[in-house]
Amino acid sequence: MTTPPKNTSGRGQRELRVRVKTAKGRKLSSTLWLERQLNDPYVQRAKREGFRGRAAYKILELDERYGFLKPGARVVDLGCAPGGWCQVAVERVNALGQNPKKPVGTVLGVDLQEVEPIAGAEIHQLDFLSNDADALVKGWLGGEADVVMSDMAAAASGHKGTDHLRIIALVEAALAFAFDVLAEDGTFVAKVLAGGAENEMNAMLKRNFKKVANVKPPASRSDSSEKFVVAMGFRGRAAETGQEPDAE
């Protein structure tokens, strides 16, 4: 089971911290970001273990808790750059067929920008908001998806309320996409920012999925307002069709 990286320096509870001086022409905010990256144990661990970013541990920890990346599953990763979530999914769903005793899954990553190839994943440069995106994804998958996941975030504006509304809009767009491509009992996973506007989205999720959880995995920085929604057991757009969902 994935656990937060521990201090292995042999110095008890004392940790060696890298200090970065502000270089000429570099903003203080850039220096602080660089210092945080250099001292982040998840960043260091990602480099050692070959992941493209620390975000890989967020999906690892979520999957260890909820178990939605099963061997044989068909997974769509929206906004997949730089590819850390795809890397995790490839191993978990047995996309490379490395375990001959388990079914082979499919990992499909889509992003507006070009992404370096990932063994076991099919990556497409695609705007998932385009009119033909759903049909294209289903064609590439050879059917519906078992998991739709998104770690997308809008560019920060510096205004907390604005950033919150922007990411909620992205999540809602990802959810609309998921409604069209998810198979029955499928799972939707997405990053959100706490702020209040997500209440309506959570209500929609609860109408259409059997189980909905909001969780902050250990790999998510404590000073960040991000959290993740994990909606499992897709049962269709009950509210939109006028049907009441079955009782849990």
Q: Which residues are catalytic?
A: 191
Residue keyed to tokens 């009441």: 244
**CA 164/CA 103 separation, integer angstroms:** 39
Which strand ranges, in their side-by-side order, compose the sheet holding 209-215? 121-125, 106-111, 74-78, 145-150, 182-193, 226-234, 209-215
Q: How many CB atoms are located within 10 Å of the residue 105 CB? A: 24
**CA 154/CA 134 separation, integer angstroms:** 22
| 67 CB-contact burial (10 Å; exposed 0-12 / middle 13-18 / buried 19+) | exposed
**CA 133/CA 127 separation, integer angstroms:** 7
185 is in an annotated binding site: no
40 is in an annotated binding site: no
Torsions phi, psi of 138, nearest 5?
-60, -35
33 is in an annotated binding site: no
140 is in an annotated binding site: no
Binding residues: 83, 85, 111, 127, 151
Binding residues for S-adenosyl-L-methionine: 83, 85, 111, 127, 151
